[in-house]
Amino acid sequence: MTTTSAEITLEELSRDPFPVCARLRREHPVSYVPAAGRYFVTRYRDVRTVDDDPDTFSANETGSLMKRAMGHSMLRMDDPEHAVQRRSYGNVLKPKAVKQIWSHRFAENFERFFAEFTAKGPGACLVRDFAAPYAAENLRAVLGFRNADHTDLLRWSQTMIDGTGNYADDARIWALARRSYEEVDAALDELITEFRRTGDESLISHLVNAGSPEVRIEDTRANLKMTIGGGINEPRDALSTTVWALLERPGQLAAVREQGLWREAFEESVRWAAPIGMYPRQTTREVELGGTRLPSGAKLGVLALSANRDEEVFERPDEYDVFRPKTPHLAFGGGAHFCAGAWLARTQVAEIALPRLFERLPGLRLDPDRPARAAGWVFRGMTALPVRW
């Protein structure tokens, strides 16, 4: 049976998707939402079913907003094509490289942007003035964009992400995404020749010099744009959301400080408010999922932010609790498409930024005069986090 939920609006989802998702999980866990033009998959077990069955639930969606905004990246491919593209990244993003190479760069970048943040004085916005430039400069170093700075990456990332989530088909959003698309291509063209002369440990250098015949330059362009999107917004949003959650809960913050539970604070944060809130899939055949019969070609919105608050899996799911029993969350996706940058995010946020922020600013607190704000459902994160110390 097909279920519709016409009363759900994109504005409602962006403002606070969690009550909507809770209602859908209870009443119609796989439900067609006309405003988004797709069936929402809201329960943990159904999301796992989708992730584990790519033959039925394809990532290669027709009419994909991500393809339009960023090109046809590996994120919108199925195996074996996806596996070929993913292998092209080599070991650059894997835990050993993150530990031996990139963590040192992240520590240097922390010092730079912490100094700039504190120079602004109490009342600065932790999202705009620290988390965003810190995450962007970290990614710039990993990718190897020698001919750009962190402000370029921030602009590219946000405008292309806005395109990926442009379900309202706003022409202005498409124009800005297209401009960034072309700027990334131009910057990459400049780097190809340079990296062939003087390579380094960055991802672009690896892609240019590895020379896989199965990976075309068009593939590399799209994959890099996809990485620019997720590689900034995930650590930025995880960092700022975790700081907000801990400042709202001084008892948990005291325990995290005393016991060094920064990794636990990070993992609970991305469960509680998954930065990548929704990702698309498309059915390749008629199939039943969550009690709903889906036709072949049905477009799905797989809601990680809903699955991570499923009452059947997580006790008191709407509460932030660093002492929560360990249950695998789905914030980094699952199956073949598990996020390749997960270790980058964990290292720069949980191992470096969180402990150092709270160590250097023991009096860090929320600004009582200006409220913190969060928004989004395709991508969920803090839009403002004014703080004092």
What's the half-sphere exposure (Cβ side, CA atoms, 13 Å) at 5?
A: 23
Question: Quick check: is 2 in a domain?
Answer: no
- Which residue in 338, 94, 98, 81 sits closest to 212, CA to CA? 81
Q: What residues make up the domain containing 287?
A: 10-388
Residue partners of 60: CB distance under 8 A and separation at least 6: 76, 77, 78, 282
- Per-residue model confidence as pLDDT tens digits over 46-70: 999 999 999 999 999 999 999 999 9
Residue 14 in this model has a pLDDT that exceeds 90? yes
Query: Model-level pTM?
Result: 0.94
Question: Quick check: is 132 in a domain?
Answer: yes
> What is the pLDDT confidence band of residue 305, given thresholds at 50, 70 and 90?
very high
Question: Quick check: is 1 in a domain?
Answer: no
Mean pLDDT of the chain: 94
- Per-residue model confidence as pLDDT tens digits over 202-231: 999 999 888 677 889 999 999 999 999 889
Question: Quick check: is 38 in a domain?
Answer: yes
Question: Quick check: is 47 in a domain?
Answer: yes
- Per-residue model confidence as pLDDT tens digits over 151-204: 999 999 999 999 998 988 999 999 999 999 999 999 999 999 899 888 899 999
Question: Quick check: is 191 in a domain?
Answer: yes
171-197 and 150-164 helices, crossing angle to 10°: 130
Instruction: Compute the distance between CA of residue 106 and CA of residue 127 in angstroms, rounded to an integer.
Output: 17
Question: Quick check: is 239 in a domain?
Answer: yes
- Per-residue model confidence as pLDDT tens digits over 240-287: 999 999 999 999 999 999 999 999 999 999 999 999 999 999 999 999
Task: Give how many domains the chain has, as a whole number.
Answer: 1
CATH number of the CATH domain containing 91: 1.10.630.10
Residue partners of 52: CB distance under 8 A and separation at least 6: 334, 335
Question: Quick check: is 122 in a domain?
Answer: yes
- Which residue in 265, 280, 224, 263 sits closest to 343, CA to CA? 263
